[in-house]
Amino acid sequence: MEETFRSGDIKASVAPGLYVAATPIGNLGDVSRRLVDVLGAVDIIYCEDTRRTGALCAALGVRTERRAYHDHNAAAVRPEILARLNDGGAIALVSDAGTPLISDPGYRLVAEARDAGTDVFAIPGPCAAIAALSVAGVPTDRFLFAGFPPSKASARDDYLEELAGIRASLVFYETANRLAGSLAAMAKAFGPRQAAIVRELTKIHEETVRDRLDKLAARYEAAPPKGEIVVVVGPPTGAAVEASDADVETFLIDALTVMSVKDAAAAAADALGIARKDAYRRAIALKTGGESG
């Protein structure tokens, strides 16, 4: 495979501009002919980690100069890149793995390059979020990529509550050591939805585990996973997304006769697929006779 894609001393020509280039997420066999040609032909490659991209370039026979562009130096390096582009340069932007700008730095560079009239070209290829969605076994006609949930529990809970009512499948990235906690928080915010844990995509130990969120949380609490992980959560059920304001109020009125405000709100959220903070606000309003807003 390496010999098939090796660029060697052959230098393809490319038009001036910024090339946003996707690289493999684990399997070198996913490299495209076009990626090799572009990386070998541009003036310079900007990447998150020069060593990691250097290893890829060595495998492909690409000798183009590499420089770092990441979250910590982007503000300082971006003017340098824009100046090179303004002078008619051809520059590639890559991330450590997958498609740049998907949970990686780069969108400000693309925006400013376009504002300056520079051509920006996509070199499409692997993307962990899309690859995971394709094998997760959840609806794919509508989905939202939500990136990494916040690391602090309170911020994560608020973040997930905001996503609870979205009528789409949800795609998250997560680290192995935080997975069980995030799944438990998702089960609390979303209820017992179907979900899939897609781990080590395109690598030797690739694995997809599909189950309800609460069961997945218990599974990975007992046996923490290894590797890079994508969490794909199915959308709310049809019954949940159809709940009207009147449905919610009727449910809460009945629930409040036998439950506390907190428990009634939790029951309404689970049964009707609404955000818990919204259910709690409405329950408080009904209990006190105020306006729910």
One DSSP character per residue, 81-115 reads HHHHHHTT-EEEE--SSBSTTSSSS-HHHHHHHHH
The two structure tokens encoding residue 258: 């036998």
The two structure tokens encoding residue 85: 């582009």
pLDDT at 251 over 70: yes
Name 138's Cβ contacts closer than 8 Å, sequence gap at least 6. 169, 194, 195, 196, 232, 233, 234, 235
Return the closest-CA partner of residue 64 out of 23, 8, 124. Answer: 8
Which pLDDT does position 116 carry in this prediction?
97
CATH topology of domain 129-236: 3.30.950
In the chain, the amino acid numbered 106 is: G
Judge if pTM exceeds 0.85.
Answer: no
The two structure tokens encoding residue 126: 């692997």
The two structure tokens encoding residue 181: 């906690």
pLDDT tens digits, 39-76: 999 999 999 999 999 999 999 999 999 999 999 999 99
pLDDT tens digits, 124-180: 999 999 999 999 999 999 999 999 999 999 999 999 999 998 999 999 999 999 999
2-126 CATH pick, 3.40.1010.10, 3.40.50.300, 1.10.760.10, 1.10.287.3240: 3.40.1010.10
Rounded distance, CA 170 to CA 153, Å? 19
> What residue segments make up the domains of the chain, in order of their start?
2-126, 129-236, 240-288
